[in-house]
Amino acid sequence: MPAKSRSAAADALAVRLAVAIKRLRSRLREAVWGSGMALPLAQLAIMKHLRDAGPTTAAVLAAAEHVSHQAIAQNLTALKRAGLVRTAPDPTDGRKSLVHITAVGHRLFASAVASRDAWLAHAIEENVPAGERAALERAILLLERLATADRTRASTGE
């Protein structure tokens, strides 16, 4: 297959994948909001990082979530206002602050994840026949690989 055709095919797949992911993210957001949660997925991602990795700095969160420091600061402000995270001086470097998830944040996160996961499990049960579950597993592996792809190589075409 000529390189130009391959590129057009990859472009078409990229558009379809981006649209599908956007729609799925919207549905996941609705599932969380439907349970009474009003947190954007970006804030849930921050809380997940804090639950998984423990207290950390805003700079580390920005790098981990692939967003600007300003975006993290805005989300942290909202999370602090809601009592879901708190900051405290870093015991090893007093110039820095560490972000911690609060007990209320832990409970709210667990509830949001349970709601989202219940919706997704139900959607899989209803829409993915047993014979297609292995294909879904392979698709998830591919998506996980894409999620860790080197952004600089992809944008330069190397």
* d(C-alpha 28, C-alpha 108), whole Å: 16
- Mean pLDDT lowest among 5-9, 40-44, 83-87: 5-9
> 29 is in which domain, residue-wise?
3-127
Number of domains into which the chain is organized: 1
Q: Is residue 146 in a domain? A: no
Residue 76 reports pLDDT greater than 70: yes
pLDDT more than 90, % of the chain: 56
Whole-structure pTM value: 0.64
Q: Is residue 82 in a domain? A: yes
Q: Where are the alpha helices (DSSP H) in 36-132?
A: 41-53, 58-65, 69-81, 103-127
97, burial (CB in 10 Å: exposed 0-12, middle 13-18, buried 19+)? middle
Which pLDDT score is estimated for 152?
62
Contact between 48 and 32 (Cβ < 8 Å): no
CATH number of the domain encompassing residue 54: 1.10.10.10
Q: Is residue 158 in a domain? A: no
